[in-house]
Structure 1
């Protein structure tokens, strides 16, 4: 199981076959944590107190995933070929949710805020999905010579997948940097919630 988090606040052009993609679909799951308050500023303070702990502090929301693979390695002519690689992907969004009803004006502010935060996190989810498609494309058909026990192919695959994973992380960090900079989308969403 591989679990990687891309955190709000912290901060490949291989094709894939439509047939292979049609055989699986990711599962998306939304987990929430409770926040309290009757005003936008109170809700934001509660996010700061109750938000998920990551790295150096707390965050508003984050996207993570659980990725497992069903792979079929086939010894061929003294080498080994990866005949199939089917992902089992769960994309998990962790988002804040008010613990009770909000006054109408605060509800309006919250709805706009959480809609924007959710959209931001879904971009991270799309980046994860794109990475998995690229992993699938680079995996299926991979062949390593002189590998009758199908051991070398696993090392080669790990090297290739690490590059794809690192690229996805870099893109995610760059996206967060833009979104959370002064005047960035997330920055504006926070100001809209806090200042009305």
Structure 2
């Protein structure tokens, strides 16, 4: 269930305007891919065949979250000649890629139960990736607008680029750490959720 996150890239446009202070623009979309099969083994094979590939590899996964960071920073020259970040607009778009099972109505009830449990966990996992990205988009915005002025706008731009790289590197590490933790607990988590469903059906 581990998914290597798509590497994030921030494009910073330089503008010597004085508009606004900071704004984070966040959007999210969903894309689905179909899988067939009627048994648990079929589902596993179908996800392995048709799931999205991780960036830079041929490995397929049951779901994915693609993230695109972009933004604009405006700089303001002060009376003493120094330069500061006047405004920062950070944009983030996340696209969640999730499976859709086409044979649900023709499958046995126990397989449907397994699928319902698995598909909910896949969606929860990808939604969490999107939330981590949102958190870091806001951190980036706040960090940029609170930077100390530099002696000129060229130095200010270089410092803002370095700060952006630092925060986006932390973002990528947080995504990888989340995947590792999820992968380590996947079997235990699925077993617990399936047992909960079985217990609910008995009552």
Q: TM-score range by the shorter chain?
A: 0.7 to 0.9
Match of 1:132 among 132, 137, 140: 137
Contact (CA 8 Å) 2:29, 2:96: kept in 1 or not?
yes
5+ residue gaps in structure 1?
Answer: 1-6, 12-19
2:73 corresponds to 1:79: no
> Could you give the per-residue CA deviations for residues 51-93 of structure 1, whole angstroms, max 9, x where no partner exists?
1122241112121212221332112232221111122221111
Determine if contact 2:91/2:137 at 8 Å carries over to the other structure.
Answer: no
Identify the residue that residue 172 of structure 2 maps to in structure 1.
169
Cα distance in 2 for residues equivalent to 1:24 and 1:166? 19
Of the structure 1 ranges 44-53 and 25-34, higher mean CA displacement relative to structure 2 is found in 25-34
Number of aligned residue pairs: give it. Answer: 175
Displacement after TM superposition at 1:174 (Å): 1.6
Coordinate RMSD, CA, aligned: 2.8
Q: CA deviation at 1:144?
A: 3.4
TM-score normalized by structure 1?
0.76
The structure having more radius of gyration, on CA atoms, is 2
Aligned position for 1:14: none
Give the equivalent residue in structure 2 for 1:8: 2
Task: Give 5+ residue unaligned stretches, structure 2.
Answer: 6-20, 199-203
**Structure 1 residue 100 displacement after superposition:** 4.5
Quote the Cα distance in structure 2 between the aligned partners of 1:51 and 1:68: 27
* CA drift at 1:135: 0.3
Q: TM-score, normalised by structure 2?
A: 0.74
Deviates more, 1:23-32 or 1:76-85: 23-32
